Amino acid sequence: MARKKTKVETAAEKETKPVEYMEPRRSVAFIGSECHPFVKTGGLGDVMYALPKELAKMNCDVRVILPRYECIPWEYQEKMVYRGEFYMDLGNTGRNIYVGIMEYEEDGVVYDFIDNKEFFSGPKPYFNLIDDIPKFCLFSKAALAALNFLNWIPNIVHCHDWQAALVPVYLRTLFSDTPVGGARSILTIHNLRFQGIYDIKTIRYWTGLPDGVFDNPRLLGQDWLDANIMKGGLAFADRITTVSPNYAGEIQTPEYGETLDEHLRYHNCKLRGIVNGIDCDVWNPDTDPVLAANYNQKNAVKGKKKNKLALQKELGLEEDQNKYVIGLISRLTNQKGLDLVNAIVPQVLDEFTQIVVLGTGDRNYEDSFRYYENRFRGQFSACIQYDEARAHRIYAGVDSLLVPSRFEPCGLTQLNAMHYGTVPIVRETGGLKDTVEPYNQYTGSGNGFTFDRYESGLLLDAINRSKTLYFTEREYWDEMLIRDMNKDVSWGNSARQYRDLYMELTPW
Ligand code: ADP
Ligand code: GLC
């Protein structure tokens, strides 16, 4: 039997080895309203899962605080461990409200779920503002109270979107004299369209915040009638981030500022844009268990063809690997540029082209895609559903993916697409502009096809340019596909920027 040799390190080798630098440990509480795999309606859920995981690798002690929604699948509920309970007052309700803490741990990240059956019941996380305002007032307050209760006082409280935007406000008001009051706060804007605006009376009732914050137009005051939770969070947070540098600039303009552009310009010295990444363990075509065939950069062209055929079969489309298949995976809302898509479907479809849509949302979009499926049987597939596994198979099986958004803070579907060797066709807005470099036929560079103004004709033109390359210069298309797969869309770089921001806020 061959003996295994143990290598003895020489003195020279020892000297050239880089000294391992242990970064100072920082503790961070992530507070937000959704997180994959427990509950997800869009990209926020992906970020709340992937970013803490990446930060945990960078010597951050991370806890993610979430509502314990009734709709979290039982397979996760049953693994949660009871950590304690307490009672808490809430605003001017005069009630003493139960708060339970249920815990779950994975990949070095601890998840603490705030339990209260009355507030977090129902089949989905969000309903309408009348229900959601009390829910997230309770959640934000209970999240801070839970940190005190657990005696786990973080250096940083990192809050996400309007549902957690009351946290920085509470931190500097009702909680300022409690242990957690010493933490620094960051509010990340994933989508400025949703701000939690409601009449002052109601928000005062549920939060119990002092009158001064409502009267002041630089704090929660929206106008004489309404209060704005996001606005208050932005004012009280120590730092504001958003999910791409381009969107950070855009939201300071009236066009994209959703009426908070002036407020954001006022606070712009604490505003920063950090582009999202994707979790390359969850999104990996080489190991993805739900694909018909796994592939990597070396065999992508062949691998994608197999996935295309399997997808066509799955969706009842004409099975032909030479068809050009265009995908769309999206919440079906006004943000996503679906009017542009609707306007041009008949012009895009020809005997060589197919379209696959996966999404749920506004009734008018769902219906118009169903109409196209009926009209173009075998060529157009409308999957009006939310289905993670099918999304993976679409990213793998289509040739290109449309993201023609009206506005897009970052966008993850174009990143998933590129990682799966699918060429994105995007509007040059928000994070789409930061992440997709337009194809340049002269230099052979770029990752996808882009257009600027929000016009259906320009989207059609971009799709036609993609078709021309696909059908007439396939070798260049294949090169782009590999370039896209090689592009670094992981969280590494961006998690580092968040970490630097944490250090900037806690420089000791
Ligand atoms: P947004 O957060 O605005 O919805 P993003 O592009 O940031 O947009 O993130 C969308 C995420 O949700 C992606 O991970 C995408 O794959 C997923 N997704 C969207 N619609 C569906 C659907 N119908 N089924 C499965 N996944 C979906
Ligand atoms: C929001 C945005 C999307 C972004 C996601 C995650 O839902 O619409 O652009 O990628 O949040 O940050």
Q: Does a structural domain hold residue 4?
A: no
Mean pLDDT of 360-375: 98
Pocket test for ligand 2, best of 410, 412, 432, 491 (most atoms within 8 A of CB): 410
pLDDT range class, residue 2, cuts 50, 70, 90: very low
Mean pLDDT of 367-395: 98
pLDDT surpasses 70 at 9: no
SS3 per-residue string spanning 359-421: CCECHHHHHHHHHHHHHCCCCEEEECCCCHHHHHHHHHHCCEEEECCCCCCCCCHHHHHHHCC
**Which atom of ligand 1 lies nearest, measured to the CA of 359?**
23
Ligand 1 pocket by Cβ (under 6 Å): 42-44, 46, 329-331, 358-360, 386-388, 391, 410-413, 416
The ligand that comes nearest to the alpha carbon of residue 193 is: 2
The residue nearest atom 3 of ligand 2, judged by CA position, is 411
- Per cent of the chain over pLDDT 90 is 95
Are the CB atoms for 47 and 94 separated by under 8 Å? no
Q: How far apart are CA 487 and CA 159, in angstroms?
A: 29
The whole-number pLDDT of residue 168 equals 98
What average pLDDT does the structure give for the chain?
A: 95
Mean pLDDT of 271-299: 98
The ligand that comes nearest to the alpha carbon of residue 401 is: 1
Give the tokens for residue 5: 């040799």
Are the CB atoms for 112 and 87 separated by under 8 Å? no
- Give residues with Cβ within 8 angstroms of 129, minimum separation 6: 196, 197, 198
Question: Residue 256: which of 198, 199, 189 has the closest Cα?
Answer: 189
Q: Does a structural domain hold residue 7?
A: no
Q: Does a structural domain hold residue 404?
A: yes
pLDDT surpasses 70 at 18: no
The answer on 304 and 188 residing in a single domain is no
Mean pLDDT of 163-175: 98
The answer on 191 and 58 residing in a single domain is yes
Mean pLDDT of 138-164: 98
391 C-alpha to ligand 1 centroid (Å): 9
User: How many residues appear in the chain?
Assistant: 508
pLDDT in tens, 42-53: 999 999 999 999
pLDDT surpasses 80 at 60: yes
- Per cent of the chain over pLDDT 70 is 96
pLDDT surpasses 80 at 115: yes
Please state the domain count of the chain. 2
Q: Does a structural domain hold residue 475?
A: yes
Q: How far apart are CA 340 and CA 376, in angstroms?
A: 18
The answer on 355 and 501 residing in a single domain is no
The answer on 41 and 182 residing in a single domain is yes
Q: Does a structural domain hold residue 8?
A: no
Q: Does a structural domain hold residue 194?
A: yes
Domain that holds residue 179: 26-277+493-505
pLDDT surpasses 50 at 136: yes
Q: How far apart are CA 21 and CA 267, in angstroms?
A: 35
pLDDT surpasses 60 at 398: yes
The whole-number pLDDT of residue 280 equals 96
pLDDT range class, residue 5, cuts 50, 70, 90: very low
The answer on 256 and 131 residing in a single domain is yes
Question: Residue 415: which of 484, 478, 336 has the closest Cα?
Answer: 484
The answer on 429 and 323 residing in a single domain is yes
Q: Which residues pair with residue 159 across a beta bridge?
A: 31, 187
The whole-number pLDDT of residue 12 equals 53
The whole-number pLDDT of residue 508 equals 80
Residue 163 is classified by DSSP as: G
Q: Does a structural domain hold residue 3?
A: no
The whole-number pLDDT of residue 158 equals 98
pLDDT surpasses 90 at 11: no
**Which atom of ligand 2 lies nearest, measured to the CA of 188?**
12
Ligand 2 pocket by Cβ (under 6 Å): 42-44, 47, 190-191, 243, 276, 408-412
Are the CB atoms for 466 and 425 separated by under 8 Å? yes
Pocket test for ligand 2, best of 34, 41, 190, 335 (most atoms within 8 A of CB): 190
**Which atom of ligand 1 lies nearest, measured to the CA of 391?**
25
Q: Is the peptide bond before 210 cis (omega within 30 degrees of 0)?
A: no
**Which atom of ligand 2 lies nearest, measured to the CA of 276?**
12
Q: State in Å, rounded, how far the first CA of the chain is from the last one.
A: 56
The answer on 157 and 272 residing in a single domain is yes
The answer on 265 and 305 residing in a single domain is no
276 C-alpha to ligand 1 centroid (Å): 13
Q: Does a structural domain hold residue 19?
A: no
Mean pLDDT of 428-452: 97
pLDDT surpasses 60 at 15: no
The residue nearest atom 1 of ligand 2, judged by CA position, is 190
**Which atom of ligand 2 lies nearest, measured to the CA of 335?**
8
Task: Assign residue 96 the CATH number of its domain.
Answer: 3.40.50.2000
The whole-number pLDDT of residue 75 equals 97
The whole-number pLDDT of residue 108 equals 87
The answer on 497 and 442 residing in a single domain is no
The answer on 235 and 93 residing in a single domain is yes
The answer on 499 and 462 residing in a single domain is no
pLDDT in tens, 76-86: 999 999 999 99
146 C-alpha to ligand 1 centroid (Å): 30
What type of residue is 178? T
The whole-number pLDDT of residue 373 equals 98
The answer on 433 and 410 residing in a single domain is yes
pLDDT range class, residue 6, cuts 50, 70, 90: very low
Mean pLDDT of 31-59: 97
Q: How far apart are CA 49 and CA 234, in angstroms?
A: 23
The whole-number pLDDT of residue 488 equals 98
Question: Residue 181: which of 96, 263, 238 has the closest Cα?
Answer: 238
The whole-number pLDDT of residue 287 equals 98
